[in-house]
């Protein structure tokens, strides 16, 4: 079923969008939220389980102190208040991959509340207000076998893996974000991206969207332009890349506008995002009619972080990303325009890591933005996931600096790195990419080129140094790019002067 | 006198003196079980599962340890029975419910782990009301337990199995759990001793929760000293139960021994005025008053104390408990363990859950799930669950105020003696009223003990005397309880259970 859509610009002519983002961050604690089971990703199904995370009768939860610490650090980094006293609560509903048929979460007493994050889009700053950040446990994972869709309907049977059940999650919920207008999709993307960078800087999660360690639910509603009232919202679940966050917002804006424009009303529901087709489809009808019967978890004692501890944790926070951005721009000498591109591409942490390996900032910027960003876009992945590490970029640039290779050859080295052909040195050796450093073969190639183009040789002799380019090009071709163009120019001019 | 009639303390001494082996003791109790326990249709039916093989293996290991001169726990080798609500690795654990029929836990409850570590052979698992919901053990899905004093009567509940096993000399010790009186009320109606420790004094890890904020495991024995020995064994902080108390209690065994001297000089005792009057059986009140008089003679100061909010305890309890249990019992969905009923056709997981829960849960369980679900529903939460929590706070304040002027509070344990099987089965409210006197302690988390106070004149059945103390002052229950026990036993010329009729043995049961 294809939905009717209204072009994006037309949406904005009639409506104001309101965004709400719920981001689940899977913490990288060694053990689960309420038991001692390991959390490592990718183990054989149901091998990282115990009576507690399987919900066996009689088993009890115990709070993972490290997870509380991570929650507080996230809250502090988001400028939140930290509760002096809070409890866990049971969220009751039935689902086969929920071992206890309730999720141990937090309800009206979140550990972190009332914060904000300033996000930057095209040089403009939007303040995203954070309503809360609370602790909860993940569910198991269902796999539906048989049937065409991979969904439970039509499946022959379903398998449940409880390894994920009980992994600590922090759910970060924004207040409604209004006033972003046409930039709503970009604000959503920038928020999730900056949040991811912050989480990475805190070191509390692997923050890998494609593995689900950061999952975004995108709430969107439209209200008639200028009315100031919030419309009915939809919640698009599990949007698992920054690009998809932006696309999902854009799509839902167009879809909502079409529904409202036809005089119909938006159904409050959960929607599924389809990465491949770029559309959302209706999920279960959600609404506030679903009653989770929250009540305080009686098996756990309240969490009461002392103010001293909170201040100790505050002292461990990494530099505020906005301040850091300003500092690095000055240190690296990037222009505003360069910095905007760097920021938009999410390249700053990568450049920083590359510079830390000894690369000049402009060289690092050049590789990440000019070369690797294109490859990431071609592959449809985030720059950080392009498959080349900052250390590798630094190694390649070091080889350029040493004149072992030139920029053009370096691109082939990146090809080799992405193909998994080994270290840059191994790739250079295997592909025969090293530059010709001996003048002998270069002079031979120059003589050959000059002989082939005597008119060019005359122009150079006549003082037209720019004409040397044609000879350099021929030499480069003859040496399959492995000549140092600068050296070739010197040799040509020496010869003809 | 045969070994089965002796107290656990006496058995421990006999083992230490080499007068008997653990294998002999364990076999003697297994023989007794075989002789009197019967089954769902006749006999005491205290046990849902008897583990003769496991118990004898544990007994043999105990005897070997003793022979080798290894340092032993005082109760090493003394057999014990465990209520079927505690997870036992390798032994069925049903909670008296069909929905867990056939489930063998892969782990031990902390209480069970401690019992095994101390070397007590586990004779088996005792009968109970389904998921501990009831005051008569009639709600067991596997048939009722019968009171050894009169097998046409209830043994109390939910821990009727543990109390009856101890009263019928099938076990010298048993573990019970008490959410609203499930240790103390069966103790009262079977003429045995039952203790609900301070909330958190004994780990709940592995105790299949009825109502997490109220549940507490504790000892079921024939003497106060035996209970003290057992609570010291099973109690203490458990890192697996974050609600368990992380501080040591005063010595309970010392308190029981001090009390046994019969001297209560200087002890201030408060009689709770709200726990008497209409609906309280005259024979129960008579024995209670005599017991109070005995305590006065022992040197205690007795005053009447009002706890005005106790009248709301039952109502608050029957909101908090169903609310918690409605959520606890959600895990029984046929997906991972226990009963699975698959309806005809090509049922969805939801339909399998529904059919399994319908077949697996009894009526009382369903009743409480429905009440609890309602009480937690949005729009009703404040009026029901929220309000009940406020009442709970008021009850705790009543206790605090009372304990400012007295050391312990006392009342009859239950309003009546054991009623007839079937008598209150169709009247849930009448059944709930049995726990009137025991529920406040659970709501406030304070400790309580029930000790035998004699037999009611009307029916010749046992009456229980309840002693309540401030949280963490469990020792006071033991001291006053042991004093009353010593003085009454002297008056009676022997333990109350000596007055019980002989339990019919095999062949005479049917």
Where helices occur in B385-434 by DSSP H, the ranges are: 387-405, 428-432
Residue B327 to residue A90, Cβ atoms within 8 A: yes
Residue B87 to residue A56, Cβ atoms within 8 A: yes
The reply to whether B64 belongs to the active site is no
Tokens 């239950």 found at: B414
- A298: contact with B, CB 8 A cutoff: yes
**What domain range includes position B147?**
3-311+392-499
Is pLDDT of A287 > 50? Answer: no
CATH number of the domain within which B106 lies = 3.90.1300.10
Closest to A195 in 3D by CA, of A96, A66, A321: A321
At residue A473, the pLDDT reads 87
Q: Give the separation between CA A198 and CA A210, rounded to whole angstroms.
A: 17
Residue B105 to residue A56, Cβ atoms within 8 A: yes
Closest to B83 in 3D by CA, of B115, B36, B39: B115
Enter the ipTM.
0.95
Indicate the pLDDT class of residue B507, thresholds 50, 70 and 90.
low
Considering the candidates B182, B203, B276, B450, report the single residue annotated as catalytic: B182
Task: Give B385's contacts in chain A (Cβ within 8 Å).
Answer: 295
- A54: contact with B, CB 8 A cutoff: yes
- What tokens were used for A214? 């950061």
Where do the domains of chain A lie? 20-218+286-313, 319-431, 439-496
Residue B87 to residue A57, Cβ atoms within 8 A: yes
List all residues 6 or more positions away from B256 whose beta carbon is below 8 Å from its beta carbon. B224, B225, B227, B228, B478, B479, B481, B482
Nearest to B212 among A55, A102, A299 (CB): A299
Is pLDDT of B261 > 80? Answer: yes
Nearest to B109 among A58, A101, A291 (CB): A58
B204 inside domain: yes
Closest to B227 in 3D by CA, of B202, B199, B208, B247: B202
Q: Which CATH class is domain A439-496?
A: mainly alpha
pLDDT per position as a tens digit, B41-98: 999 999 999 999 999 999 999 999 999 999 999 999 999 999 999 999 999 999 999 9
pLDDT per position as a tens digit, A342-395: 988 889 989 999 999 999 999 999 999 989 999 998 888 888 889 999 999 999
Residue A92 to residue B330, Cβ atoms within 8 A: yes
- What distances in angstroms separate CA A301 from CA B213, B243, B338, B350, one per listed residue? 11, 6, 30, 33
pTM across the whole model: 0.88
The reply to whether B83 belongs to the active site is yes
Residue B87 to residue A94, Cβ atoms within 8 A: no
CA atoms within 13 A on the CB side of B285: 10
Q: How far is A254 from chain B (nearest CA, A)?
A: 34
Is pLDDT of B8 > 50? Answer: yes
Residue A495: left if φ>0, alpha if ψ -120 to 50, beta else—which one?
A: alpha
- A58: contact with B, CB 8 A cutoff: yes
Assess contact for B454 and B191: CB atoms under 8 A. Answer: no
pLDDT per position as a tens digit, B210-237: 999 999 999 999 999 999 999 999 999 9
- What tokens were used for B135? 């005051």
Is pLDDT of A2 > 80? Answer: no
- Across the A:B interface, residue pairs with CB atoms under 8 Å apart total 103
B332 inside domain: no
The reply to whether B158 belongs to the active site is yes
At residue A208, the pLDDT reads 86
Q: Give the separation between CA A330 and CA A350, rounded to whole angstroms.
A: 17
- A90: contact with B, CB 8 A cutoff: yes
Considering the candidates B6, B83, B98, B424, report the single residue annotated as catalytic: B83
Render the burial of B75-110: b for 16+ CB within 10 Å, e for the rest. Answer: bbbbbbbbbbbbbbeebbbbbbbbbbeebebebbbb
Partners of A43 in the β-ladder: none
The gap from C-alpha B486 to its chain's centroid, in whole angstroms, comes to 22
At residue A1, the pLDDT reads 46
B248 inside domain: yes
pLDDT per position as a tens digit, A94-129: 888 899 999 999 999 999 999 999 998 887 889 999
B88 inside domain: yes
Residue B333 to residue A158, Cβ atoms within 8 A: no
Task: Give A301's contacts in chain B (Cβ within 8 Å).
Answer: 242-243
β-strand pairing of B268-272 with B408-412: parallel
Residue A293 to residue B373, Cβ atoms within 8 A: yes
Count of domains observed in chain B = 1
More confident residue, B39 or A287: B39
């Amino acid at each position: 079923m294809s939905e009717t859509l209204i072009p994006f610009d037309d949406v904005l002519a009639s409506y104001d969008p309101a965004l709400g983002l719920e981001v689940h961050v899977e913490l990288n604690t060694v053990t689960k939220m309420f038991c001692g089971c390991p959390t490592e990703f990718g183990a054989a199904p149901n091998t990282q389980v115990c009576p507690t995370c399987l919900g066996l009768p009689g088993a009890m939860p115990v709070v993972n102190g490290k997870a509380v610490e991570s929650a507080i650090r996230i809250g502090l980094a988001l400028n939140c208040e930290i509760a002096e006293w809070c409890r866990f609560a049971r969220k009751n509903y039935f689902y086969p991959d929920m071992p206890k048929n309730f999720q141990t979460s937090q309800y009206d007493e979140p550990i972190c509340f009332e914060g904000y994050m300033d996000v930057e889009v095209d040089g403009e700053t939007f303040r995203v207000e954070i309503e809360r950040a609370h602790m909860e446990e993940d569910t198991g994972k269902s796999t539906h076998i048989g049937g065409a869709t991979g969904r439970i309907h039509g499946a022959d049977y379903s398998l449940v893996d409880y390894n994920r059940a009980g992994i600590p999650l922090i759910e970060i919920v924004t207040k409604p974000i209004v006033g972003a207008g046409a930039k709503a999709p970009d604000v959503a993307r920038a928020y999730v991206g900056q949040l991811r960078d912050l989480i990475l800087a805190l070191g509390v999660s692997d923050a890998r969207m494609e593995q689900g360690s950061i999952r975004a639910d995108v709430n969107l509603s439209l209200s008639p332009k200028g009315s100031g009232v919030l419309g009915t919202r939809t919640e698009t679940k599990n949007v698992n890349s920054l690009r998809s966050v932006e696309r999902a917002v854009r799509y839902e804006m167009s879809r909502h506008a079409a529904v409202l424009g036809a005089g119909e009303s938006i159904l409050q529901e959960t929607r599924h995002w389809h990465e491949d087709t770029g559309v959302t489809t209706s999920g279960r009808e959600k609404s506030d009619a679903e009653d989770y019967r929250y009540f305080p978890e009686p098996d756990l004692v309240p969490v009461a972080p002392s103010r001293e501890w909170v201040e100790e944790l505050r002292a461990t926070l990494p530099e505020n990303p906005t301040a850091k951005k300003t500092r690095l721009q000055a240190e690296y000498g990037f222009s505003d325009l360069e910095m905007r591109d760097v920021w938009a591409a999410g390249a700053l942490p990568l450049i920083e890591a590359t510079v830390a390996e000894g690369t000049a900032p402009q060289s690092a910027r050049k590789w990440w933005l000019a070369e690797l960003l294109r490859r990431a876009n071609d592959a449809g992945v985030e720059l950080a996931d392009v498959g080349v590490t900052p250390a590798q970029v630094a190694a390649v640039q070091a080889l350029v600096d040493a004149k072992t290779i030139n920029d053009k050859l370096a691109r082939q080295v990146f090809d080799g790195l992405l193909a998994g052909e080994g270290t840059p040195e191994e790739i250079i050796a295997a592909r025969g990419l090293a530059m010709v450093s001996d003048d002998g073969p270069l002079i031979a190639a120059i003589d050959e080129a000059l002989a082939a183009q005597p008119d060019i040789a005359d122009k150079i002799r006549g003082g037209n140094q720019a004409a040397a380019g044609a000879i350099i090009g021929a030499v480069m071709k003859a040496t399959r790019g492995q000549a140092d163009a600068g050296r070739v120019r010197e040799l040509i001019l020496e010869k003809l002067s | 006198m045969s070994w089965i009639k002796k107290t656990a303390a006496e058995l421990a001494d006999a083992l230490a003196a080499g007068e008997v082996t653990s294998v002999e003791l364990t076999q003697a109790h297994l023989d007794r079980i075989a002789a009197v326990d019967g089954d769902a249709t006749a006999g005491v039916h205290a046990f849902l599962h008897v583990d003769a093989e496991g118990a004898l293996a544990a007994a043999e290991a105990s005897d070997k340890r003793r022979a080798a001169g290894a340092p032993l726990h005082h109760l090493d080798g003394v057999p014990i029975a465990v209520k079927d609500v505690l997870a036992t690795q390798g032994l069925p654990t049903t909670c008296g419910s069909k929905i867990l029929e056939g489930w063998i836990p892969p782990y031990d409850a902390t209480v069970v782990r401690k019992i095994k570590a101390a070397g007590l052979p586990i004779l088996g698992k005792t009968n109970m009301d389904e998921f501990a919901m009831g005051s008569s053990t009639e709600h067991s899905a596997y048939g009722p337990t019968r009171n050894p004093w009169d097998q046409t009567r209830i043994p109390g509940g939910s821990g009727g199995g543990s109390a009856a096993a101890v009263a019928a000399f099938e076990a010298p010790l048993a573990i019970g759990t008490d959410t609203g009186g499930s240790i103390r009320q069966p103790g009262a109606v079977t003429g045995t001793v039952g203790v609900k420790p301070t909330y958190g004094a004994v780990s709940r890890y592995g105790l299949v929760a009825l109502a997490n904020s109220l549940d507490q495991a504790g000892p079921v024995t024939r003497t106060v000293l035996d209970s003290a020995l057992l609570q010291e064994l099973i109690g203490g902080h458990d890192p697996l139960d974050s609600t368990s108390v992380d501080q040591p209690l005063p010595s309970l065994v010392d308190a029981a021994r001090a009390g046994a001297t019969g001297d209560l000089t200087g002890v201030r005792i408060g009689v709770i005025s709200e726990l008497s009057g209409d609906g309280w059986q005259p024979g129960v009140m008579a024995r209670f008053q005599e017991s109070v008089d005995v305590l006065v003679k022992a040197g205690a100061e007795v005053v009447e104390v009002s706890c005005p909010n106790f009248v709301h305890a039952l109502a608050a309890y029957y909101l908090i408990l169903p609310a918690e249990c409605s959520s606890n019992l959600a895990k029984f969905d046929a997906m991972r363990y226990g009963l699975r009923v698959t309806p005809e056709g090509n049922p969805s997981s939801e339909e399998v859950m529904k059919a399994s829960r319908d077949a697996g849960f009894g009526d009382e369980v369903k009743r409480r799930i429905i009440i609890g679900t309602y009480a937690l529903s949005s729009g009703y939460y404040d009026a029901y669950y929220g309000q009940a929590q406020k009442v709970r706070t008021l009850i705790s304040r009543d206790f605090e105020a009372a304990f400012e002027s007295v050391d312990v509070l006392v009342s009859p344990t239950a309003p009546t003696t054991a009623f007839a099987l079937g008598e209150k089965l169709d009247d849930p409210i009448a059944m709930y009223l049995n726990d009137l006197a025991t529920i406040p302690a659970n709501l406030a988390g304070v400790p309580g003990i029930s000790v035998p106070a004699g037999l009611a004149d009307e029916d010749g059945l046992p009456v229980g005397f309840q002693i309540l103390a401030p949280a963490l002052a469990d020792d006071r229950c033991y001291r006053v309880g042991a004093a009353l026990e010593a003085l009454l036993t002297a008056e009676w010329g022997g333990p109350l259970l000596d007055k019980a009729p002989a339990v019919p043995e095999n062949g005479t049961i049917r």
